[in-house]
Chain A
């Protein structure tokens, strides 16, 4: 068990080194504003895909309404800082909790469904949240909530991402996490092994929704605005694509998927006419050659690359 602690510390150390490098490069302006923006966006997408992976990949509950929780986090966070003038830290906490609470309330009835039915229910749910926001004048309605201060810095985004990755990784390697995996594998058998399946499904859904809310707070406080058009079901599909591309059920897969797709999108920003072509081609090629995603349900670990880096220094639990 001690080796696990050591492993965690080593990973944390690698994160700190990576952080120091990127922070220095930002400080000396080697990384310009365009890439700074994209780095933040990558981190936000990593949070989203890792939290969706907890629901879709680990627990096997096919949810595609993640943008809805992102929106809840963005708007509640913005209300705290803009409308109430309270600090950013509080916005992060409240945004996460509100989103988690909504996830809990919605998870209780919808997680009784499975497969396609759950997918449709969550898809509808994301849209309901967006349309509700669209019609609330208090938060700006269709024109969005403007004038949000830019509180999200690289440091905030980076360490929150690392924290969330660690929480989800630890969750997976604990008894509740194993229960979620068991539910994915065989729900009937899980229940006869004494697992209250509803409880663990709702637990995973709540945690996933909460972290999507955290991503929302970071998002709104970086882009100055929370706008309903940023939270359509296309956004949910983007997140889902990242998770599926990386490999459902793989933490490192979800991280890589998010980094890769966001980066491709950013690189191609200069060629707007080719952007969607290349983006879709990449996906088609990957899905033909690796239908199970880049990593399948396996984790990338140092053992796989004796000489290689440690996946940008992020969580590389080999189990």
Chain B
């Protein structure tokens, strides 16, 4: 299988705290990988290193053979990684369609002069972007809200919009940070279906951070487990489920 993302012995040190230590991970093309761990295990820190928010203190991250370390978040997005946030970060005072159009920005070719004076490629490209955005909203059943302000959407719809927006950057790897946070079991189940479907439809790989065990076990093909910044296990969901270290990390040690 073709390798997409390679994380090689990466650490993130904040002062005296090693938030993530010697973390190694690979994601292959088309894979659906999960990253789990108890609160404060360093999952989001790992995520932030992958997406350029933090520059790793040690180690190297490569995406399609190109180095990610030291790149700014917008450059990482341009390489083909898109993410969502644990606490939703939409452009809340803008319309739903503008939220998606903004994410298409990287693919717009027209110059500032063409934009301001409205000639040349401006009209064609604007039309194309609007069309693409509406199509994407239709896929996520958000098109009826397209002129609504993003902050007025119900919670579940806001989560969906965030995923739609991330997909608009046309990524090869989609990183989802606790997409099921605040959802009920029914919604979580729908989300599971959606994640599987997105991977197939958009032909991409997915890395999922999650608390919700049922979601991770149900949807991921391979799982990495973090505890106190260390990767304590990785493998198939079945292996992880019966791994003694993992059970200890989640439920505490057995009383002997």
Pick the contact of A170 from B73, B115, B125 — CB < 8 Å? B115
Interface centre among B90, B92, B103 (most CB of A within 10 A): B103
Complex-state Cα separation, A197 to B82, whole angstroms: 16
A175 with B105: CB separation less than 8 A: yes
Mostly helix, strand, loop or mixed at chain A's interface?
Answer: helix
The verdict on B183 contacting chain A, using a C-beta distance below 8 Å, is: no
Pick the contact of B89 from A5, A177, A188 — CB < 8 Å? A188
B165 to chain A, nearest CB (A): 7
A195 with B105: CB separation less than 8 A: yes
Residues of B within 8 A of A177 (CB): 115
**Which residues of chain A from 172 to 219 have any CB-CB distance to chain B below 8 Å in the complex?**
174-179, 181-182, 185-186, 188-197, 203
- Please judge, given known A-B contacts A170-B118, A174-B116, whether A193 and B93 are in contact too, CB under 8 Å: no
Complex-state Cα separation, A182 to B122, whole angstroms: 20
Pick the contact of B117 from A170, A189, A192 — CB < 8 Å? A170
Complex-state Cα separation, A8 to B102, whole angstroms: 24
Residues of A within 8 A of B73 (CB): 188, 191-192
Residues of A within 8 A of B93 (CB): 185, 297
A66 to chain B, nearest CB (A): 21
B94 with A182: CB separation less than 8 A: yes
B92 with A185: CB separation less than 8 A: yes
Stretch at the interface among B106-114, B194-202, B206-214: B106-114
- Please judge, given known A-B contacts A185-B92, A185-B93, A185-B94, whether A191 and B72 are in contact too, CB under 8 Å: yes
Nearest-neighbor residue (CB-CB) of A296 within chain B: B93
Interface centre among A175, A178, A197 (most CB of B within 10 A): A175
Taking residues whose C-beta sits less than 8 angstroms from the other chain, chain B's interface range is 35 or more
The verdict on B69 contacting chain A, using a C-beta distance below 8 Å, is: no
- Please judge, given known A-B contacts A170-B117, A192-B74, whether A182 and B51 are in contact too, CB under 8 Å: no
Nearest-neighbor residue (CB-CB) of A192 within chain B: B73
- Please judge, given known A-B contacts A174-B115, A174-B116, A195-B102, whether A186 and B74 are in contact too, CB under 8 Å: no
B82 to chain A, nearest CB (A): 7
**Which residues of chain B from 8 to 51 have any CB-CB distance to chain A below 8 Å in the complex?**
51
Residues of A within 8 A of B51 (CB): 192
B90 with A193: CB separation less than 8 A: no
Interface size on A, residues (CB 8 A): 29
The verdict on A288 contacting chain B, using a C-beta distance below 8 Å, is: no
Residues of A within 8 A of B118 (CB): 4-5, 8, 170
Residues of A within 8 A of B102 (CB): 178-179, 181-182, 190, 193, 195
**Which residues of chain A from 1 to 34 have any CB-CB distance to chain B below 8 Å in the complex?**
1, 4-5, 8
The verdict on B159 contacting chain A, using a C-beta distance below 8 Å, is: no
A167 with B116: CB separation less than 8 A: yes
Complex-state Cα separation, A197 to B102, whole angstroms: 12
Interface centre among A170, A174, A188, A192 (most CB of B within 10 A): A192
Pick the contact of A189 from B90, B106, B125 — CB < 8 Å? B90
A186 with B83: CB separation less than 8 A: no
Q: List 17 A-B contacts (CB under 8 A).
A: A8-B118, A175-B115, A176-B115, A178-B101, A182-B94, A182-B102, A185-B91, A185-B93, A190-B91, A190-B102, A191-B72, A192-B83, A193-B74, A193-B103, A193-B165, A194-B77, A194-B103
**Which positions in B face A, CB cutoff 8 Å?**
51, 53, 72-74, 77-78, 82-83, 85, 89-94, 98, 101-103, 105-106, 108, 110, 112, 115-118, 122-123, 125-127, 129, 165, 168-169
**Which positions in A face B, CB cutoff 8 Å?**
1, 4-5, 8, 167, 170-171, 174-179, 181-182, 185-186, 188-197, 203, 297
